[in-house]
Homo-oligomer: A and B are copies of this chain.
Amino acid sequence: MLDQVLKTLEGRRHASQAALKELLSIPSVSTKPEHADDVKRCAAWVADQLKAAAFDVSIMPTGGHPAVVARNKHQAGRPTVLVYGHYDVQPAEPLDLWTTPPFEPTVRNGAIRARGAADDKGQVWCHIESLLAWQAHGGPPVNLTLLIEGEEEIGSPNLGAFVRKHKDALKADVAVVSDTNQFARGLPAITYGLRGLAYMEVKVTAANRDLHSGLFGGTVANPANELCALLGTLHDREGRVTVDGFYDDVVALTPQERQEWAKLPWNETNYALGLGAPKIAGEAGYSSLERRWARPTCDINGLTSGYQGPGAKTVLPCEASAKVSMRLVPEQDPLRIVEALEATLHARCPATVRLEIHCHSHTPAVLVPTDGRAIQLAAEAVEIGFNKRPVFMREGGSIPVVNMFKRELGIDTLLIGFGLDDDNVHAPNEKFDLDALHAGTRTCAALYERLGRL
């Protein structure tokens, strides 16, 4: 049957591109109130497509933009798969940097170009299009629930409550998210690990007001000096994080992982060149891929203090603050790490200043065993879709919905994404390769067949 579905997909290529263009032409920018009607219109468009695939569809209210929830007829004895995606997009600004307008999708040089092309409309479309093809052959042999939300780009503020409220309706054996990348063009990947995150704010204060640096300099602590001195202690010369106990629970890379990653097509020099950096950097003893995928970090994301305009102002600032976040790896406990940073900084802080630290958010790392049944079936599906065996890779970022599904629904997530590093996600001239679109659609079609065997 899968062969028939794939054949149907071949015949629908032009129709598929045309439909995706329709989807991409709706400016569903979730962060902008003036686009609220576009967001609604986009939800309705997605719902209509899923109805056409014979799904039972609801456009459901949340505290914010609506979520589209769609189910095929669930049959007892079949495994159930929850497919998550989002139909909202980032703002397109700065508009003058776009070669063609962000909401007038254009095919150029083998890619469809528009805001949301890769993140995440193009990838959501792969799933819907595969279901439309399956419908021509009686529907997929698996119970499916699709949850396509409209608030991912604003941090999914209502998704947690929504999933908790509809826990029963969303119950599944495994989740699928297509919002990640191939390892490289034509080398598909399944992402089996994500780093976690602990995001902190660190503030140092001394005097109760800004002072003149001439009249007072040298007689009272300068919070900017002290903040730099404190944060400057957070790494040693080998690039290791010096927060007490930071590495205690870190799971070491296995020799097998290191061997496999070393085989991936990757060039450190090209990597530095591509970033425009003088050279690569990071923790001694690890390759860039190892650093990115499997080693924890501590990065200052923002610094602010005193005078920041052009020229000079002789102010001794009364406060200095930093955003400091740590990427976490498997078995690091976010709460323990948060407390370790707090304890370390307080222990190192002189009594001449006040130190305040608070945590914006924290989420643990994710690691899905690559020898599980679902991930092996997914790998078969990707191989059918791309005509190439996928690599198993990790990603350095965090995808909060993966932790949420684990926490609220108790299920793992398969991260099967079709994007590429050069897709300009969140930037001008976002695009999605037509090859990725079609291979991705084939992969989804195969995935629904394979996961039926779960």
Contacts and interface: CB of A to CB of B under 8 A. Distances in A.
A352 B291 CA distance: 16
A21 to B, nearest CB: 27
A99 interface: no
Interface in A224-250: 224-225, 227-235
A233 B232 CA distance: 8
A299 B222 contact: yes
B232 A280 contact: no
A271 B218 CA distance: 13
A303 interface: yes
A323 B220 CA distance: 18
What are the 6 tightest A-B residue pairs by CB atom distance, in nearest-first order? A232-B232, A214-B397, A208-B276, A224-B300, A281-B352, A302-B306
Interface stretch (A125-133, A251-259, A353-361): A353-361
A305 B303 contact: yes
A396 B222 CA distance: 15
A265 interface: no
A320 interface: yes
A391 interface: no
Interface in A248-303: 271-272, 275-283, 288, 291-292, 295-303
A300 B306 contact: yes
A340 to B, nearest CB: 18
A443 to B, nearest CB: 22
Interface stretch (A5-13, A107-115, A307-315): A307-315
- How many copies of this kind of chain does the complex include? 2
B303 A396 contact: no
Contacts of A325: 213, 312, 314
A142 to B, nearest CB: 31
A215 B313 CA distance: 37
Contacts of A278: 206, 221, 351-354
A307 B313 contact: no
A232 B228 contact: yes
Contact of A232 (B197, B229, B305, B352): B229
Contact of A300 (B209, B228, B312): B228
Contacts of A280: 219-220, 352
20 contacts: A207-B275, A212-B397, A213-B297, A216-B396, A217-B299, A218-B291, A219-B282, A219-B291, A220-B275, A224-B300, A224-B301, A227-B228, A228-B231, A229-B232, A278-B351, A301-B317, A302-B313, A303-B308, A312-B323, A314-B397
Nearest to A304: B308
